[in-house]
Structure 1
């Protein structure tokens, strides 16, 4: 179990349209076989990069080749309708006694979904080594979400290995999860963010030494190259974090707040924000995250049990309404954020699972990671992306997709709303 003291900042300011700031806390399956080359019985594998395993540093991570179970991105053909992308992402991404990481890995496999897991790196740092963490504007060895313990570290490593083998992404939620005006991540400078990112990488790259687990299998990827994006705690500090991250190998960020429209790059990084989605039965929209539905429904993680089912249904139906208006409209990627938490009796976990079951099996729908989405966006004709960004929330091309994405179609050919 993760030895973490979880704390949600309910004192955060509430956004316009009744959107609470996205607070975060967070905190199995077996590993995939490495596989090999076929040959005669007893034949040795020929040396080569396809089956090489190169340990990195103290062996906490390793290069094992290209990630399996990934489909290369394809450029849209003239006249082709864009796929409907849906990204399910998880802040914190630790396996604790609730076993939600392992559960949703199995859900993802069942419905052919890839997901992004934003790891809080202090979950791989044991409590007794807490002083290795020097957080900006806070005392050495402190963290608002605690640290790991031996069993929690082992369990989380198991899930990270398996998730990567299955084609999912390991991003970052950084370290100590400090929010608010008193030294929170929103007050950090660019240089302080660089320190935080470097420390997060260090904890992932040195868990064998830090946790004294020399016999554990390494993570099957080079984390310095694997981490290409993240989400900041409480969605604070995005500007300075991005300024630091774009010099450190990041390709995207998901700390922003936006609408269901096609994304764009900001200062060289894909800006892939959480989105405003309907709250059925209410006159406002909220962010596409479990915390924000909870904040607007009960304001507490342990609200009235008699309302749990209704609240879960409300979140599920809001996400499905958001999906429908994109799927039948502008086909903008739907981005959903969650935590491995049992708030209000686990009703939000049920809502997310119901959404996965409903949307990931539909025609032309691809449930992908942020990295896969960024790959697809990079593969497109910039002129096509610019036209797609001109479609508003719920808009579909008036003359249909074949005319809209044809190479000779004027950008103004768009106005049907769903």
Structure 2
């Protein structure tokens, strides 16, 4: 099983019993789908004869990923769709079965998501010494490792998730935060080492876990892996440099307002976490379960009588964020989560309520980061630059056609890596996981 709390010391896997912590315009879908904009346009599942095992058979090429929206360039003056990205840090299946649960929720609500897998969740405890985190001794991880059942269950979910059109990204490995050897202290070469190890654990899980008879993951991870989120949102500056050199497509480790994304100087999309309202309070926090948990009960078990209220507060904050984007600048809404049970699971309910409330709306596409990057790359950069002129919640005066017809926007300045928004009074966002 896998560590639930991102503790600051290595936890033996045998002692871990808690949960994991840690449509329409602009897209084209399979005409056979009954709901406009439903996932399904970019290739059907490959026939069995197309399966080509890679390496030890832990992964395989199985053809184009099914159930993806095909990105289309906006027509002149066309209003952009509303994208929403739901993502999960440290994705893995444990006894709570939240991975499988939210796969089901996604399918029922015409959504695809991004699952950021922690590489050590594919590594059994008895092979812990295969992992050497930068600035740490071999065999250490702040979130432990896994057992054979946990690996098998996680692989089952990863396999099905990808076949349903979801993205498998990375949350890297040992989840080291803080000044003492944390990811914020790592150099570009050290980030490359961490990335190479995360990929290796996925590409060799059969050998490491002794499960040669199991079915492979149905993707080539060298090609599948194009983005991630750093632990605690630390270390972005050097990670983004490493990611750019590796040809990755996006990063989601920063902090931003609900505005249109830009590419950073390293040539990858800055799809940062966003500041969203906390209803009834005079400040905003990051669009992540952990930050609501931190602001409501200092990231500790809180009063059970408050659980329902806190979950409603998170849900309503996310819905307010959605509404101001949907009715305003149409900037993609970025939401991050963990598979967790904090404060009685109230944040998991809040996320499920949000998915059900927004993903079926007209012109809304709940997609993975990779699909969002595909759509952004298909657009005219000059048009995106004009979208980027709109402030949070600001609809274009005179409509979208008028915005496009306006004077050309000044060339967009690249987003400097790791320039988080200054904390507002009372905000607790530094501890974001």
What interval of TM-score do these two structures reach, taking the shorter chain for normalisation? Answer: 0.7 to 0.9
Q: TM-score, normalised on structure 2?
A: 0.85
Where does residue 301 of structure 2 map in the other structure?
302
1:3-402 alignment, distance < 5 Å? 3-4=2-3, 6-8=5-7, 26=21, 36=47, 51-266=49-264, 267-402=266-401
Where does residue 409 of structure 1 map in the other structure?
406
Aligned residues: 377
What RMSD, in angstroms, separates the aligned Cα atoms of the two structures? 1.6
Gaps (5+ residues) in structure 1? 10-23, 28-32, 37-49, 413-418
Structure 1: how far apart are the matches of 2:64 and 2:300? 40
Structure 1 contact 6–144 (Cα < 8 Å) conserved: no
- SS of residue matched to 1:80: coil
Structure 1 contact 173–230 (Cα < 8 Å) conserved: yes
- SS of residue matched to 1:62: strand
Structure 1 contact 25–145 (Cα < 8 Å) conserved: no
* Cα 1:8–1:312 shift into 2, 3 Å: farther
Structure 2 contact 45–66 (Cα < 8 Å) conserved: no
- SS of residue matched to 1:306: helix
- SS of residue matched to 2:65: coil
Cα shift readout 1:136-174 (whole Å, capped 9, x = no counterpart):
011110000000100000000000000000000000000
Cα shift readout 1:221-243 (whole Å, capped 9, x = no counterpart):
00011000000000000010111
- SS of residue matched to 2:212: coil
- SS of residue matched to 1:396: coil
Structure 1 contact 252–269 (Cα < 8 Å) conserved: yes
Displacement of 1:5 in angstroms is: 6.3
Displacement of 1:300 in angstroms is: 2.7
- SS of residue matched to 2:294: helix
Q: Which moved more, 1:257-266 or 1:300-309?
A: 300-309
Structure 1: how far apart are the matches of 2:126 and 2:21? 20
Displacement of 1:191 in angstroms is: 0.6
Structure 2 contact 87–115 (Cα < 8 Å) conserved: yes
Structure 1 contact 231–253 (Cα < 8 Å) conserved: yes
Cα shift readout 1:255-281 (whole Å, capped 9, x = no counterpart):
000000000000201000000000000
Structure 1: how far apart are the matches of 2:6 and 2:146? 15
Displacement of 1:125 in angstroms is: 0.2
Displacement of 1:35 in angstroms is: 6.1
Q: TM-score, normalised on structure 1?
A: 0.88
Gaps (5+ residues) in structure 2? 9-18, 23-43, 410-433
Displacement of 1:51 in angstroms is: 4.2
Structure 2: how far apart are the matches of 1:403 and 1:376? 22
Structure 1 contact 254–271 (Cα < 8 Å) conserved: yes
Structure 1: how far apart are the matches of 2:374 and 2:275? 24
- SS of residue matched to 2:107: helix
Where does residue 12 of structure 2 map in the other structure?
none
Cα shift readout 1:7-28 (whole Å, capped 9, x = no counterpart):
357xxxxxxxxxxxxxx9636x
